[in-house]
Each structure stands twice: as structure tokens, then as C-alpha cells.
A and B are shown apart, each in its own frame.
Chain A
Amino acid sequence: MKPGYILKHEKPTRVFHWVNLIVFVLLLLSGLAVFNKNLAFLAIPFGGLKNAATVHKYLGWVYFIAPLVYIALYPKLFVKFLKVIGNITKDDIAWFKIAGGYLAPFIKGTPPPQDKYNAGQKSLGWMVIGLSCILAATGLAMFFYASMPPAVVRWSILIHAAVGIFLGCGVIVHAYLAAIHPVSSKEFYTMMGSGYIDEEFAKGHNEKWYKEMKAKSSQ
């Protein structure tokens, strides 16, 4: 353990996040390529639209099954995660009111202390869970289109695309904040790398959680 650092994400979580990330990005790219002719160029890295579509179809299954595997193998971690994102407090609402401070100088204010995940991340968590379920359901309908009522499939296509794009936008923002944003991308390595985070940063961004952890370790 590096001094001054604190473990934020366990290894399984990190691996799962990686898997999910890769799969989602591939799904998003291939999905977008199929979605709109103007985005067809996105299929080039896949070697063409046909491959993109094939990748999308079968990777969709990975996207569908991977969380289930994670949940099945590490139910405790998952429950913990749910508890954290399920714990919506006044601070979270306050955080949202000032958009986490990210929209300064347009919306000014100091973000209130946050949990392990800030309010934005919490809401993204819910978004990912909820919308992924919709994506999975509609995706399954599309996968088994031949044995589904065509109208169900048609609506599924529509919903799948809408939800996919919406989630895609969410993930783009998330990725931006986590990986590109000059400040918050500090956390990037936590999830994508060793799992440890600078105590200072944690104190600043996830104050509540930091305190909790400190309390635990001092027991």
C-alpha cells in the first residue's frame, strides 16, 4: 500500500469496469455505425459494417451477461455498490443544483461533501443499470426478431437506438469527466489502474467516504 493512498475500487470491480467499458465502447461505435448512415465510417475499425453489426450482435450478449457474472461472483460488492448509489442524500441534491461545480463560472458554488461516488456518478450508476436493462430487453427482441411480433421488434429497434444514444451521451460525459476533464480526471487511474487514490483527492471529492474509511481503519 502506497502511503498517502487509499483503496477505492476492488480488483473485481476494476476488471468488471474495464470489461464493461471496452464492450460498451465497441457496442456504441458499432451501434452508431449501423444507426445512421453518416456514422457508417465508425465501422471502419471493425473492417466494415457487416463485421460491426456482427460484433454488435454478439458483444451485446457479453454486455448482457458480464454484469450477471459479476453479480453472481461478487454479490457483496454489488450490494455495496447498490447501497452507495441508493443512498441519495440532501448533499447529492445540493450537488446537482450546482452541477457539481463543473459548470463554473456559469453556475457557481462549492460542492457539498460526497460519498464514494458523487451525485453525478450515482445517477450515472442508476442510468447504466436501468438503461442497460432496457437495452438488453430490446436487444434480445432484436436478436430474436424472427420469432417476435414484428411490431415489438420495430419498437424495440426504436427504443434501443434512443436509449443507446442517451446512455451513450451519458457515458461520453462520464468518460470526459473521468478521463479528460483537467480536474476530475484525477480519479481516472483509480478505476482504470491500481484502484488506489490520493487521500488528498479523496478528501476533497469524496469527503464522506474518506471519513468513513478513515474511521474504519482506525478502529
Chain B
Amino acid sequence: MARLAYLFDSSKCVGCHGCQIACKQWNQEKATRTTFNGSYQNPPALSPDTRTIMRFYENFEQDTIPQLNILKVQCYHCGEPACVKACPSGALSKTDKGITAVDPSKCIACGYCHSACPFTVPAIGKHVNKCDMCLSRTEHGDDKQKTSTPACVKTCPAGALEFGDRDALVAKAHKRVEWLKSRGHKDANLYGEKVLGGLGVMSVLKYPPASYGLPPNPTMPLELFVWKDLFNPMGLLMLVGAVGAAAGHYLLALRQSRDDHHHHGGDESKGKEEMKG
């Protein structure tokens, strides 16, 4: 099955919050109480009640032209998702279409995914919450009414979001980058084509990723490998070792004590009986 993805084009986005509200609407999430905090960005961050937000960055270009860089932030559906790797309970998983799916019933709210994610996306309340590319829509929706596209993509009034086969979108995105370059945006780039196994949500950016608060080169955290691939089996071995050693020693000691005909032998077995009770 070809990998599904969607493409966010920052040069088309107008930051109307349509995707954010449509997402809440479809996923029946609570609106939270917010206050104005010096930006158009609200709620200020992803949360257990918010799967996607618009981030706003205001900068100068050549001292005269202000910049308003808008980024849609949600789970990026990495090709190699750190969160799935970190998840101890199987609540996060990768579907055959490349979507990082969530099964809240399995989530133990440990928060490992939150810290493992290079973008710190998953938010945990009673359970993890993050974008699942509207699985219920993409799996069961009606193509004609476009309820088979994710709610945010469908609702984008500017046409800044597109959903579909990842390879086709990559090709399209390259064209957009070229187009932006032809319009004088020298630094235009496609974010997420290759990093982390290729992101499932790619962004066409007018300026370098840092101007959008994105890590230029996100990687799977090293600690995660140490933890999951090295320490996890080792720790298990150690434990089994400790228990095994104790058991072995017990047999050894038992034989020894029998050999010694230690006079405390009887008491010992009595003590054990009591302990059980």
C-alpha cells in the first residue's frame, strides 16, 4: 500500500484557524479557556484537547518587510516514528499506509512519546492525543463528500493543504518550491521529505525551517536507541540473572547448610512457613 501523506504549503496558508477548529469539531474535542498572549497563536500549544494548532512567527526581512510565518503543527507521521518506538504499551502504532495511529484504550499515559518525539507533539491527558490523520474518515469516509480526507485538509479555505499519495505530493511540493524560488524566495524549501524516514506531513516553507520554529535536522534521539535497543534487553538479562543467581545460590546454600547440619535449619523452615501466612 502506498504511503499516505499530506502537504502543508505555508506560502498559501493564511492562518485562519480553520484546520484547528475543524479538527476539534470532527474529533469532538473540548475547547479550552485561553487568553491573549501576544500572538495570533491560540491555544498556545498542542494539548490533550488540541491535535493541531497554527503557529505564528513574526520576523523582519531586510529590515523593512515584515514577515508573518505561519505553520500548521500537528503529528508529522514520521516514517520512523520515535513515539512508536518509545511507546511501551502499543497504544501508538504505524499503519500499513504510514499513519501513526493511536489506540487510546491501550495508552498508559506514561508520556514517553511526548519526550521521544523530535517535535514534542503527543500530548497526554487521560491518554495520549495526537493527530491520526482522521483515520475514521480516511478509512470509512465518502469520497464524493470528501469526508474521506482528513478534516483539516478538507476545510482549508486557501487550498494550502493537500492529502494523498506521498510520492505524488513530494513531486508537487518540489514544483511549489521551484515556483517560490522563481518568485524571489531564495530559501524556499520542502521540509520533511527525507528526515526521520520521511515525514507524513510535509511543509513547503518560504524561509529556512528555523523561521518556523522547526528543527532543521530532526533525528531520532540517541537516548531512545540506548534505552530501547541496548538497555531494554540488557536490563531484562540482568534481572533474569539476578533472579537466577539467587535461585542458584539458594540451591547451593541449601546443600551447604544440609552438609553443615546447621542447628538453625529447623527454625529457618518455620520462618518461611510463617512468612507465607
Q: Find out whether A and B make contact in their complex, taking CB atoms under 8 A apart as touching.
A: yes
Interface residues of A (CB under 8 A from B): 32, 34-39, 49-50, 52-54, 57, 102-105, 142, 145-146, 148, 150-151, 153-155, 157-158, 161-162, 165-166, 168-169, 172-173, 176, 179-183, 185-186, 188-189, 192-193, 201
Contacts of A162 in B (CB 8 A): 231, 235
Q: Given A54-B108, A104-B256 in contact, is the A35-B235 Cβ separation under 8 Å? A: yes
Distance to closest chain B CB from A170 (angstroms):
8
Segment of B50-58, B169-177, B193-201, B222-230 engaged in the interface with chain A: B222-230
> Can you spell out 29 A-B residue pairs with CB atoms less than 8 angstroms apart?
A36-B233, A37-B88, A49-B106, A49-B108, A53-B110, A105-B256, A142-B110, A142-B111, A146-B123, A146-B124, A150-B116, A150-B221, A151-B221, A154-B116, A154-B223, A157-B227, A158-B227, A172-B243, A173-B242, A173-B246, A179-B272, A180-B272, A182-B256, A182-B257, A183-B257, A183-B262, A183-B264, A185-B272, A186-B264
Contact between chains at A165 and B253 (CB < 8 Å): no
Distance to closest chain B CB from A62 (angstroms):
18
Q: Given A35-B235, A102-B249, A176-B249 in contact, is the A183-B111 Cβ separation under 8 Å? A: no
A147 to B103, CA, bound (A): 24
A32 to B107, CA, bound (A): 16
| B210 interface residue per 8 A CB criterion | no
A22 to B232, CA, bound (A): 25
A150 to B115, CA, bound (A): 4
| B40 interface residue per 8 A CB criterion | no
Q: Which residues 52-72 of B sit at the A interface, judged by CB distance below 8 A?
A: none
Contact between chains at A189 and B108 (CB < 8 Å): no
Distance to closest chain A CB from B147 (angstroms):
32
Contact between chains at B253 and A183 (CB < 8 Å): yes
Contact between chains at A168 and B242 (CB < 8 Å): yes
Which residue of B has the minimal Cβ distance to A103? B249
Interface of A is mostly: helix
Contact between chains at B253 and A161 (CB < 8 Å): no
Q: Given A54-B108, A162-B235, A182-B254 in contact, is the A188-B271 Cβ separation under 8 Å? A: yes
Which residue of A has the minimal Cβ distance to B117? A150
Q: Which residues 75-122 of B sit at the A interface, judged by CB distance below 8 A?
A: 88-89, 106-112, 114-117, 120
Contact between chains at B235 and A165 (CB < 8 Å): yes
Distance to closest chain A CB from B116 (angstroms):
6
Contact between chains at B275 and A32 (CB < 8 Å): no
Contact between chains at A179 and B235 (CB < 8 Å): no
Contacts of B110 in A (CB 8 A): 34, 53, 57, 142
Distance to closest chain B CB from A190 (angstroms):
10
Which residue of B has the minimal Cβ distance to A179? B275
Contact between chains at B243 and A146 (CB < 8 Å): no
Contacts of B243 in A (CB 8 A): 172
